[in-house]
A and B are shown apart, each in its own frame.
Chain A
Amino acid sequence: MESATYGKKLREEEFLINMGPQHPSTHGVLRLVLKMEGEFIRELTPHVGYLHRSIEKIAENRTYNQFMPFTDRIDYCASMPSNLAFAVAVEKLAEMEVPERAEYLRVIMVELNRIASHLIWLGTMSLDLGAVTPFLYAFREREWILDLFEMTCGQRLTYHYIRVGGVSRDIPPEFEKSCRAFIKSFRKKVDDYEAILTENPIFLSRTKGIGILPLDLAKDLGASGPTIRGSNYEWDIRKVEPYSVYNKFDFKIPTGKNGDVWDRYMVRIEEFRQSCNIVEQALDGLPESDTIRAKMKAVFRPPAGEVFSRIEAPRGEMGYYIVSAGDKKPYRVKIRTASYNNLQCLGPISIGLKIADLVAIFGSLDVILPEVDR
């Protein structure tokens, strides 16, 4: 029996697919409009803004210290670096000296948070690629870090620990032992992740040569963090413009070779180890002191002026531009986040690939949406 279409040419056309806003592999609420030709992506338009909370407007209506808890919500997977970015900017504006012990505590917390944030990335990205085991492993290790944070500041997600002028409280006596035990065990765990994924043929075929981000495009779009380091460029604010006490520690900046998904994966895996090194060195060098916060007036008014500052957050550079009119509230706060620029890389590098590859690329960029929308 002949079918009705037998002998006729199949119809070809471009069609649009809506991916998201509620899609398991967009890690939040992102809508991608894909123009498809058969299985291949011809055009990709990201639609963002579902998590826009107008944090910059809120900043203009709060004092500097009142605004600090809001910075937690800019990137809730890495609250410590978000706190630090704002604290560093305000301290630069007010030319404030931070006690050395506080600086060391900041480094310990930020690097632990970098590990925790990369663990979320590792878990969700491998889950998107069909590997369930690393997800469970990653969240098991992250739990230990969250316990460390909880014993320090009582919070597990939005810490509000780093404050303008220092940190909110000292670490409890049992912190150091538990933290050292974690680092010791975590180094072995990183080897385990590598044993599961790095040379796994299925993982390799999903990631090698996929989503190559050329360096000149990365620079033009303002990509930062592991995204630009994967494209073989050594760029890390911790080394380029050392803030806090990062110039006292010995660590390397891992870089990739081709800028594909696998390179960005390897950069983050290596950053696990470098962060472990930094935490250990910071614990060794932690100075004994009772002051963990600079003395501030009850009503804090930084001098009039403007300031530009940036730090290396887990996803790339987080920067602030603050205008102060000498008032207790900032006049204007502009927050620059890494994901905002890294997300713009997604379109150009996904053209001509399949949706399954898009999921891998999006995972490897480690975009978090609250940071894009603010």
Chain B
Amino acid sequence: MTKQEITEKFKTRFGPDLEVLETGQPETYLYISESRYHELCEFAKNDPDLDFDYLFNFGGAHYPEERFEIVLCLSSHEKRHNAIIKVKLDKDNPETVTISDVWEAANWFEREAMELFGIKFKNHPDPRPLLLVEDWDHGYPMRKGWTGPDFIPMPEE
């Protein structure tokens, strides 16, 4: 499907909960409201035309003044098209539901976002930390403005 067709398909189903981003990139970029995020993931995976069976990339992002974001890069093995789905989360208490029941690949991605950004994923089957040392207690290092004991910011020239 082309970029327009994918966008239209999502729009007809999710209408007002959707915000399409004009980026000039060849892929569809859109925001979905947090309340319908899980529904959209199920739809994207199970709809025969979209057929997004491949969660390619998943990560958090931090915009300290406004919001947290999670970003999903979806891809389809058979249809060979891509889409980027983004969700805005609360800046003080970022929380959403897990999608590891939709794509198994989300399991580790969510664990990583949990410990590096402090984003909570409800109903996650295995919410242990993934990458940091076991006794880590210096907060969430990927948040903007984070500093830790050994963190030396790059000097401005």
Contacts and interface: CB of A to CB of B under 8 A. Distances in A.
Interface of A: 48-49, 52, 54, 56-57, 61-62, 92, 217, 219-222, 233, 235, 240-241, 305-308, 310, 317, 319, 321, 323, 331-332, 334, 336, 340-341, 344, 373-374
B57 A334 contact: yes
| The 5 A-B residue pairs with the shortest CB-CB distance in the complex, in nearest-first order | A334-B59, A222-B105, A49-B131, A336-B57, A61-B154
B54 A219 contact: yes
A332 B147 CA distance: 17
A344 B105 contact: yes
B131 A373 contact: yes
Contacts of A307: 25
Contacts of B80: 240-241
Interface of B: 23-25, 27, 29, 53-57, 59, 61-62, 71, 73, 77, 80, 82, 84, 103-105, 107-108, 129-133, 141-142, 153-154
B105 A317 contact: no
A105 B73 CA distance: 30
**Interface residue SS majority, chain B:** loop
A308 B77 contact: no
A116 to B, nearest CB: 26
Contact of A310 (B29, B56, B130): B56
B105 A220 contact: yes
A305 B24 CA distance: 9
A241 B75 CA distance: 11
B131 A48 contact: yes
A98 to B, nearest CB: 17
Nearest to A344: B108
A251 to B, nearest CB: 19
The residue among A222, A305, A331 with the most chain B CB atoms within 10 A of its own CB is A222
A321 B57 contact: yes
A361 B93 CA distance: 41
B56 A336 contact: yes
Given A222-B55, A306-B25, 19 more contacts: A48-B130, A52-B132, A217-B104, A220-B53, A220-B104, A222-B54, A241-B80, A306-B23, A308-B27, A308-B84, A319-B56, A319-B73, A321-B57, A334-B59, A334-B61, A334-B71, A336-B73, A340-B108, A341-B105
